[in-house]
Structure 1
Amino acid sequence: MKRNFLWIGLGLTATVAMFPIDGTPAAARLFDRGLSIAQTLNQPKVELKLIAKQKVVQKDSQGKEQASWAVLTKDTTVQKGAILRFQVVAKNTGDRAAEKLVVTQPIPKGTTYAIGTATQSGAELTYSIDGGKTFAANPMVQVTLPDGRAVMQPAPPEAYSHVRWTLGKAIAPKSGLELTYDVSVR
């Protein structure tokens, strides 16, 4: 009698192993994992580096203002009104082209995006005003006029929360590109 319970127990264990809780058969799960690993191995390797710079304006010997950009360090303190440039350096370190790359950068809290400063580099440029949930080339907000009518107007710079580049061309192996956008410190 004890042997029958043992065989029944082993049979139930095998059945549970073949039909896991989520309803996916074990063989299918193994195939999916293998496919996922293969896709990961075939992915191009793109390294992203973020560099923050502050605009420095100085007068030259003739009294003309000259602008340059100083790289920020962890010890740098920025003042209200300072202009910062965020530079994303994307480098394809793999041996195959990186296609359909999408780079999304948040607009840091306490700053305001400077409209029109994001470089395009052959990319579709879109922005978010809802914390990165949706993106549009020209974000709009609904505004109620004094007469009570609701109209759509371009979102103010303070509303921008993210900038996104969707690259239309592939990044060749061992090459890269730079994407930038400016903000002002509030």
Structure 2
Amino acid sequence: MWEIPRRFKTSDLKAPKLVPTSKETNKMLKSKKKFAAIGAATLSLLVVGAGAFAQKHFMLSSALRPEVKMQLSASVERDSALVALDKSTVVNPGEILDWTMTSENDGNAPALDYKTVGHVPRGTEFVAGSAKAEGAKTVFSIDGGKSFSPQPMIEEKQADGSIKRVPAPTAMYTEVRYEWADAFAQGGKLSASYKVRVK
């Protein structure tokens, strides 16, 4: 049996924080008593102005945002043809599974620094050179997605007892991540794929 990977990452959008500065306000409040009323009025205007700015900015940021929908599909290579997979499909050792992740930005703003991650299911191993995504940089993980590199490295003990860093075998890959440098435009579609071999 095989499992459908469900771990995907997109860039998180964080609302900017409004941090009021209080140095000048404190100086005004500490001035002579005859300016206390002016200082209080100025402080009130600053607070009201900041609130209005925050509300306007929140309305703008909530109105313009990307909304990325993802779809995962898989097929198995059998008799020189691709057969679509579902949860009830049984796969055999040695068979190649093709995973395709399709992303569509249905929002009204581009997604910046868009990334998507494909999981290498347990009981399978990544097929070297199979990761494809137009316009994306591809990086890999061998530690369950904690770190990524174009070429993950491991330490290997040499015959003389020394330790040498060497490229990790693709059988150790646990995740494949695709990173797009260009903004993911609203209404745009992206596709990424990779293959795994059933052990």
TM over 0.5: yes
Whether 1:52 and 2:65 are equivalent positions in the alignment is no
More strand per residue:
1
Whether 1:149 and 2:162 are equivalent positions in the alignment is yes
Cα distance, 1:154–1:43 mapped onto 2, change above 3 Å: same
Number of residue pairs the alignment of both structures matches = 147
Cα distance, 1:120–1:135 mapped onto 2, change above 3 Å: same
Cα distance, 1:124–1:174 mapped onto 2, change above 3 Å: same
Letter in structure 1 aligned against 2:74: A
Q: TM-score, normalised by structure 1?
A: 0.72
Cα distance, 1:128–1:41 mapped onto 2, change above 3 Å: farther
CA RMSD for the aligned pairs? 2.1
Q: How big is each residue's C-alpha offset from its partner over 1:44-78, in whole Å with a ceiling of 9 and x where there is no partner?
A: 01101110111122xxxxxxxxx332110122100
Residue 70 of structure 1 corresponds to: 83
Letter in structure 1 aligned against 2:120: I
Aligned identity (percent) is 30
Whether 1:162 and 2:175 are equivalent positions in the alignment is yes
State the distance in 2 between where 1:127 and 1:110 align: 18
Cα distance, 1:150–1:121 mapped onto 2, change above 3 Å: same
Residue 64 of structure 2 corresponds to: 42
Q: TM-score, normalised by structure 2?
A: 0.67
Cα distance, 1:146–1:51 mapped onto 2, change above 3 Å: same
Q: Counterpart of 1:70 in 2: which secondary structure? A: strand
Give unmatched runs, 5+ long, in structure 2. Answer: 1-46
Give unmatched runs, 5+ long, in structure 1. Answer: 1-26, 58-66
- Aligned residues of 2:75 and 2:97 also touching (Cα < 8 A): yes
90-99 vs 72-81, which moves further: 90-99
